[in-house]
A and B are shown apart, each in its own frame.
Chain A
Amino acid sequence: ETGVTQTPRHLVMGMTNKKSLKCEQHLGHNAMYWYKQSAKKPLELMFVYNFKEQTENNSVPSRFSPECPNSSHLFLHLHTLQPEDSALYLCASSPDRYQPQHFGDGTRLSIL
Chain B
Amino acid sequence: EDKVVQSPLSLVVHEGDTVTLNCSYEVTNFRSLLWYKQEKKAPTFLFMLTSSGIEKKSGRLSSILDKKELFSILNITATQTGDSAVYLCAVKSNFGNEKLTFGTGTRLTIIP
Contact = CB atoms under 8 A, between A and B. Distances in A.
Contacts of A55: 97-98
Contact of B34 (A44, A45, A100): A100
B111 interface: no
A105 B42 contact: yes
B100 A103 contact: no
Interface residues of A, number: 27
A33 B92 CA distance: 14
Contact of B44 (A31, A44, A98, A103): A103
B98 A56 contact: yes
B99 A104 contact: no
A100 B6 CA distance: 19
A106 interface: yes
B28 to A, nearest CB: 16
Contacts of B32: 98
Interface string B30-70: 01101010000111110010000000000000000000000
A82 to B, nearest CB: 22
Nearest to B105: A42
Interface in A79-95: 88, 90, 94
A2 B42 contact: yes
Nearest to A94: B98
A11 interface: no
A56 B4 contact: no
A48 B45 contact: no
Please indicate which of the listed interface residues A41, A42, A88 has the most CB atoms of chain B within 10 Å of its own CB.
A42
B98 A106 contact: no
Nearest to B90: A43
Given A42-B4, A43-B88, A104-B42, A31 B98 contact: yes
B25 interface: no
A102 interface: yes
